[in-house]
Amino acid sequence: MPAKNPTKLKVAIAQIDTIAGDIDAALHKHLDMIGAARSIGAEVLLFPELSLTGHNGGRQTLELALRRDDPRLRKLAAAAGDMATIFGFIEEAPGGLFYNAAALVREGRVDLVHRKVNLATYGALEDGKHFGAGEYIEIFALGALWRVAVLICADLWNPALVHLAALQGATLLLAPVSSAVEAVGAEFDNPGGWDLCLRFYGMMYGFPLVMANRVGQEGGLTFWGGSRVVDPFGRVVAMAERPSEQFVTTELDYEALRRARYLLPTVRDANPVLVLRETERLLRPKGGVEPDGVQ
């Protein structure tokens, strides 16, 4: 087999209707999608948020939570082969703690678990009722050039988390989400908001983003799909054509990232020392000495 081109990366999105409350049935669906993605040569496969449990899986946390060494996770990791596969589950951590998490698996291993940091507990969303908040933004290297950050759904609505991923060298942002039309409220356009959010981050930070949303209905919510890939210039280059189960695939080119970051060097000019200094100042107790001119 010839070596793969390190500057190119074939990504696939599994836009699925997740199976609520039945991990074994969901596992079979994941295995089918993994096999299909490998058959077309995908190097990265992204599933939606909580893809193994369903959107309301938190209400069954005690029945559905999995430890990282669970045989079902190992089965997915083995099936993935050398394709980085990211799926959502409820993680049971040591000490009986529970998290909305996404695992990156391949070659029989769990290489990364991201715990959702920005728990959505508003509108029809209730993360904070069931899960603890994650505390880290980590980066995982896929070869020499592609450095992956995984942020789950509402994590992307905290711009500081995307900023932290970029400052750590992320060159690809993967976003598993579970977004329903009615989730926030009648006056909030979820599909339009996600389009704006993803294109802004792609353009601002000069990296591609891959977003996987689910479809179907659950608990009175309508999941609209719209899974897509945004390039480093903020352009949508691949998108689900309809709100039904399907694959979205495209090939990313690292050369586009190089050009984007040369033209708009947001990461280069981020000045984390200033941000740290000003953050520490904001956290100081009131009454401390401030710089001249600062009230």
Map out the domains of the chain as residue ranges.
8-283
Rounded CA-CA distance 236/226 in Å is 11
Q: What is the pLDDT of residue 289?
A: 57
Q: What is the pLDDT of residue 288?
A: 53
CATH superfamily name and code, 8-283 = Carbon-nitrogen hydrolase (3.60.110.10)
Q: What is the pLDDT of residue 287?
A: 58
Q: What is the pLDDT of residue 2?
A: 42
By residue count, the chain amounts to 295
DSSP letter at 136 equals -
In 3D space, the residue among 211, 257, 249 whose CA is nearest the CA of residue 231 turns out to be 257
E-assigned strand segments in the chain: 8-15, 44-46, 84-93, 97-106, 109-115, 139-142, 146-150, 172-176, 209-212, 215-218, 221-224, 228-230, 236-239, 246-253
Retrieve residue 113's tokens: 């678990």
Q: What is the pLDDT of residue 294?
A: 55
In degrees and rounded to multiples of 5, residue 181 shows phi and psi of: -55, -40
Rounded CA-CA distance 151/211 in Å is 10
Strand-pair category, 84-93 with 97-106: antiparallel
Q: What is the pLDDT of residue 1?
A: 35
pLDDT, tens digit (0-9, with 9 covering 90-100), for 136-195:
999 999 999 999 999 999 999 999 999 999 999 999 999 999 999 998 988 889 999 999
Rounded CA-CA distance 238/77 in Å is 26
pTM over 0.75: yes
CB-based contacts of 143, cutoff 8 Å, min separation 6 = 6
pLDDT < 50 regions, the chain: 1-2
